[in-house]
Amino acid sequence: MNKLVKEQRRSTFQSVGAALDDLPSHQFFPVLEDFLDYVDTPADKFGGPRKVLVSLDLLRRLIGLAVGEIAYDERYYRERYPDLKRAAESGEIADLKMHFVSNGFFERRQASSRQAAPVDEEWYLSTYPDVAKGFAEGRVASATDHYLATGRREGRLPAGDLSEAMLALINALHPVDL
């Protein structure tokens, strides 16, 4: 593909990306070639540990698409955040889920009680005896505190019931040699 066509496709991809805020994820998703062109990588090299630069805007939009799949509880979200409740009641925010996907996640707001407390305390302590020992000795306040402070960076899992896709994502974010 010549350089002009690549630049045109990259520009089109970026403008389409700008419209993603207004589309539910099931209605549109760019084709693989759009991503390959964006990072200037052939399909047979699209994977593995190689790193590429992408704009933070594009990364945020891609994360937003994934965030749209997080279990969302509108009543929980509305009640947990009084400012959003007021904004929704006044019509300032038309759709609280869209707010979560485009802004709330990036503001560290939780979409549900499961997201607010992602660590299965009992499972975590039984799976990681060193953490259980620290907890018993008072050096660790809770499994959740340990996971958020250091466990996630050590490659520890927050619960035993994670999907294969979530396990792959966690491993990609925090690779651990086993």
**What is the pLDDT at residue 163?**
66
What is the C-alpha to C-alpha distance for residues 110 and 95, in angstroms, rounded to an integer? 16
**What is the pLDDT at residue 141?**
93
Does residue 148 contact residue 108 with C-beta atoms inside 8 Å?
Answer: no
What is the C-alpha to C-alpha distance for residues 117 and 160, in angstroms, rounded to an integer? 14
CA angle 65, 161, 100 (to 5 degrees): 30
Please provide the size of the chain in residues.
178
Amino acid in the structure at residue 110 = Q
Query: For the residues 91-101, what does the mean pLDDT come to?
Result: 94
Does residue 106 contact residue 144 with C-beta atoms inside 8 Å?
Answer: no
* Phi/psi-derived region of residue 112, left when phi > 0, alpha when psi is between -120 and 50, beta in every other case: beta
Tokens 């953490």 belong to residue: 131
pLDDT tens-digit map of 109-148: 888 877 766 788 999 999 999 999 999 999 999 998 898 8
The predicted model scores a pTM of 0.59
Does residue 132 contact residue 126 with C-beta atoms inside 8 Å?
Answer: yes
Tokens 């994502």 belong to residue: 169
Per DSSP, the residues of 9-55 read: HHHHHHHHHHHGGGS-TTT----HHHHHHHTT--GGGSSSS------
**What is the pLDDT at residue 9?**
45
Amino acid in the structure at residue 177 = D
Query: For the residues 93-118, what does the mean pLDDT come to?
Result: 86
Token digits of residue 151: 């466990």
pLDDT tens-digit map of 35-86: 778 778 888 877 777 787 888 888 888 888 888 878 889 999 999 999 999 9
**What is the pLDDT at residue 13?**
43
